[in-house]
Amino acid sequence: MATSKEDMGNKKLSYRRYKDGDHTYKRAGDNIFEADHTHKCPTYVHRTPPCQGSCPSGEDIRGWLQIVRGIEKPTGGVSMEEYAFRRSTDANPFPSMMGRVCPAPCEDGCNRNNVEDFVGINSVEQFIGDSAFQNKYTFEAPVELSGKKIAIIGGGPAGMAAAYQLRRRGHASTIFDDHAELGGMMRYGIPGYRTPRDVLNHECLRIVDMGGIELRMNTRVGRDISVEQIEKDFDAILWAVGCKAGRKLPVPNSDAPNCVSGVAFLEAFNKGTLKVTTDKVVCVGGGDTSIDVVSVARRLGKISKINKEERPEQVIGGYVAHDSAFAAAREGAEVTLTSLFNREEMTATEHEVEDALREGVTILNGVMPIEVLLNDEGRACALKMAKCEMKDGRPTPVEGTEFEVECDLVVSAIGQGGDLSEGLESLNNGRGLIDADAFYQVPGRKGHFACGDIIRPHLLTTAIGQASIASESIDHYLKQEEQRKRPKVDVHHFELLKKLSETNLAPVSFKASEASDMRGTDQAKYAVHNYEDRSSSEIISSDRLFLGHFPFTPRNMRSSHGPSAEEVLGHFAERGIGLSNEQAVNEAERCMSCGMCFECDNCVIYCPQDAIFRVKKDQATMGRYVDTDYDKCIGCHICADVCPTGYIDMAMGDH
């Protein structure tokens, strides 16, 4: 409230920028450096690291890396492996799956790239997930349920993650899925040698075992049960149906019977109905789905003589299924992948591209299809291609560069959309997707929410992150609470107060009568002093770090035993070998802990006034390892300069 003229004239103000007799304007900044002291002192500021800021699931990556390396100690008598698992799955309940198949945008954002090479984040995440699988860790859930029930349409990563987060909030759910098993794209869109089915089954059932989660498999909403009935039976609906309708090639004759989509090809393989392909397979794409298609095609191979009724397109269309005898007669198939872009611009993960080349796939870069050529039966016999160049953001064929690639099967892996037929047409926004706002609410449909590929096809981890936010929005809706504004940096943040409570170091309750002089709180037990949390608004960049602290440290790489071109036929074993416990710890130690103290002692060692000191062991925890004696501090900035993690800011003070 503004001070009145009467109060200004009759009372002595408790705070004034200028004193009586001052006659010159002086900026506060002019006082920063004077002789041997400044008007600044160290403040400990928590910011979000770029790995977490780049993670669509918003995982506390720095947090669980600190746990694996031993900086943050487990509480409650649990092991490092279990404590890291609890922290990791606060955001993402599929650490084993994501550690294997996520293209790891977190690693692209890692500040360690400015030293030598990124931290192998998803290899450590796989270690956490595999340890949880081996030790059969379970999820905890509130005993009591709210009495509300949510219908989740889709049992893929988005739907399962939403069921998990809703159950943690005390809400029951029923998952409707038109497949026989849970997992969505993790099961039906990615081959089992990348997502081992025993681990996938465990990660899905671990969620169901929380209780309060009902399954309605082989049930398509809109056909087997109406949307209107769902609206009557449930308090809210979450649409997480994914995108399983592949796009056909935008060229003449792409509706030939042996032109199929990548998602349909992979689903037929993952269901076990497709046992062989054909002599010559051509896949058009360049992303991860296309790599999976060509890798599977090389493994399946062909058989020399096959009945028309048992051609791959008949199996992919769902008309027939191959029996196991086909596998015994497999021979190698010629498999070609074409991409609009040069290799370095392909969206597929680099190591997956390298694996495909090693397995005998031919990759043609910088080319585009212009026509499917047909034989006398009306089937595709070749794909007419041309070199391409980008004009106004569109691929354009270069005249005079046309050539043909012979084929018996054409697979289109150029994108996918949602299947909103059979009673779901009213949800279609005209692009085969469902609209959703910032809270993942469906506009104009009260109680309807959506997340995952059906609102914007992207990564599995993106769908999982959206499910977490959608579950929070559903919780607010069920409680008739106003939706809260989402933070600028919308991730699962480390919370110091939560950590202090966990370690029995929470501040005591504030009593004004006992607080005495409240102009400073550095000795008070009712406040967390000298700490600022900017993690919801700032991501710390490498220029805030003291990179000179970090020596060159080579990565601890996962090993691979992927097959060669001669060995690939019938090879369905997992290619990668996870890190050992020692390797995982060593790799986690490469984390630079951007935006959070990792107990290096630089500030303590280099402070010339001995003003910075370690907190006593029985009072220390993550984020509260060092403190400052302001009576000794002269504001020399050395502590901030030598802090490797950018955790120390020099802020205005009174000294």
SS3 83: helix
pLDDT value for 70 = 95
Report the distance separating Cα 135 and Cα 422, nearest Å: 43
Mean pLDDT of 242-249: 92
Domain ranges of the chain: 26-47+495-534+595-655, 149-244+418-478, 247-416
Higher per-residue pLDDT: 247 or 26: 247
pLDDT value for 16 = 44
Higher per-residue pLDDT: 39 or 184: 184
Lowest-pLDDT range of 3-7, 411-415, 453-457, 510-514? 3-7
Report the distance separating Cα 203 and Cα 205, nearest Å: 6
State yes or no: pLDDT of 252 exceeds 80.
Answer: yes
Percent of the chain residues topping a pLDDT of 90: 77
Mean pLDDT of 36-55: 87
pLDDT digits (tens, 9 = 90+) for 425-457: 999 999 999 999 999 999 999 999 999 999 999
pLDDT digits (tens, 9 = 90+) for 121-132: 999 999 999 999
Instruction: Select from 340, 336, 320 the least CA-distant residue to 278.
Output: 336
Burial of 384 (0-12, 13-18, 19+ CB in 10 A): middle
Higher per-residue pLDDT: 63 or 15: 63
Higher per-residue pLDDT: 365 or 530: 365
Neighbouring C-beta atoms of residue 108, cutoff 10 Å: 12
pLDDT value for 146 = 95
CATH architecture of 149-244+418-478: 3-Layer(bba) Sandwich (3.50)
- The yes-or-no answer to whether 149-244+418-478 and 247-416 have a common fold is yes
State yes or no: pLDDT of 18 exceeds 90.
Answer: no
User: Model confidence at 422, in pLDDT bands (50, 70, 90)?
Assistant: very high
State yes or no: pLDDT of 19 exceeds 70.
Answer: no
Mean pLDDT of 598-610: 94
Mean pLDDT of 468-486: 96
Our CA angle for 325, 329, 333, nearest 5°, is 125
Instruction: Select from 464, 471, 494, 438 the least CA-distant residue to 56.
Output: 464
SS3 398: coil
Which amino acid makes up residue 179?
Answer: H
Residue carrying the six token digits 């600028």: 488
Mean pLDDT of 31-53: 77
State yes or no: pLDDT of 4 exceeds 50.
Answer: no
Which amino acid makes up residue 594?
Answer: C
Higher per-residue pLDDT: 507 or 582: 582
What is the reported pTM? Answer: 0.90
Which residues fall within 8 angstroms of residue 374, CB to CB, at 6 or more apart?
253, 256, 380, 381
CATH architecture of 247-416: 3-Layer(bba) Sandwich (3.50)
pLDDT value for 25 = 52
User: What is the sign of the dihedral through the CA atoms of 520, 522, 527 and 528?
Assistant: positive
The CATH number assigned to the domain with range 26-47+495-534+595-655 reads 3.30.70.20
- The number of residues making up the chain comes to 655
Higher per-residue pLDDT: 179 or 3: 179
pLDDT digits (tens, 9 = 90+) for 51-92: 999 999 999 999 999 999 999 999 889 999 999 999 999 999
State yes or no: pLDDT of 14 exceeds 80.
Answer: no
User: What is the sign of the dihedral through the CA atoms of 412, 413, 414 and 419?
Assistant: positive
pLDDT digits (tens, 9 = 90+) for 511-553: 777 666 666 666 677 777 788 999 999 999 999 999 989 999 9
Lowest-pLDDT range of 211-220, 251-260, 523-532? 523-532
Joined together, the tokens standing for residue 629 give 């004696």
> Helices 157-168 and 197-208 sit at what angle, rounded to 10 degrees?
30
Mean pLDDT, rounded, of the chain: 91
State yes or no: pLDDT of 1 exceeds 70.
Answer: no
Higher per-residue pLDDT: 11 or 560: 560
Helical residues (DSSP H) of 113-271, grouped into ranges = 121-135, 157-168, 185-188, 197-208, 227-233, 262-271
pLDDT value for 637 = 86
Instruction: Select from 135, 567, 223, 158 the least CA-distant residue to 420.
Output: 223
State yes or no: pLDDT of 38 exceeds 90.
Answer: no
Contact status, residue 122 vs residue 159, Cβ threshold 8 Å? no
Q: How far is CA 243 from CA 423, 434, 447, in A?
A: 16, 11, 22
pLDDT value for 631 = 84
pLDDT value for 37 = 58
Q: How far is CA 24 from CA 18, 38, 264, 299, in A?
A: 9, 21, 77, 82
Which residues fall within 8 angstroms of residue 415, CB to CB, at 6 or more apart?
246, 247, 457
Mean pLDDT of 387-403: 92
Residue carrying the six token digits 């018996």: 408
Contact status, residue 409 vs residue 274, Cβ threshold 8 Å? no
pLDDT value for 11 = 45
Mean pLDDT of 152-172: 97
User: Model confidence at 33, in pLDDT bands (50, 70, 90)?
Assistant: very low
Helical residues (DSSP H) of 375-440, grouped into ranges = none
State yes or no: pLDDT of 12 exceeds 60.
Answer: no
Mean pLDDT of 343-348: 91
Residue carrying the six token digits 């710390």: 540
Which amino acid makes up residue 53?
Answer: G
State yes or no: pLDDT of 5 exceeds 50.
Answer: no
Q: Please state the three-class secondary structure of 547-571 as a single string.
A: HHHCCCCCCCCCEECCCCCCCCCCC
pLDDT digits (tens, 9 = 90+) for 189-209: 999 999 999 999 999 999 999
166: left (phi over 0), alpha (psi -120 to 50) or beta: alpha
Report the distance separating Cα 277 and Cα 274, nearest Å: 8
Mean pLDDT of 157-179: 97
State yes or no: pLDDT of 210 exceeds 80.
Answer: yes
SS3 369: strand
pLDDT value for 3 = 42
Lowest-pLDDT range of 168-177, 414-423, 503-512, 597-606? 503-512
pLDDT digits (tens, 9 = 90+) for 263-309: 999 999 999 999 999 999 999 999 999 999 999 999 999 998 888 99
Which residues fall within 8 angstroms of residue 379, CB to CB, at 6 or more apart?
256, 257, 258
SS3 353: helix
Report the distance separating Cα 166 and Cα 170, nearest Å: 6
Instruction: Select from 228, 245, 246 the least CA-distant residue to 237.
Output: 228
Strand 394-397 to 380-391 pairing: antiparallel
Contact status, residue 102 vs residue 122, Cβ threshold 8 Å? yes
Report the distance separating Cα 63 and Cα 596, nearest Å: 9
Residue carrying the six token digits 């107060």: 497
Query: Which residues is 180 bridged to in the sheet?
Result: none
Percent of the chain residues topping a pLDDT of 70: 92
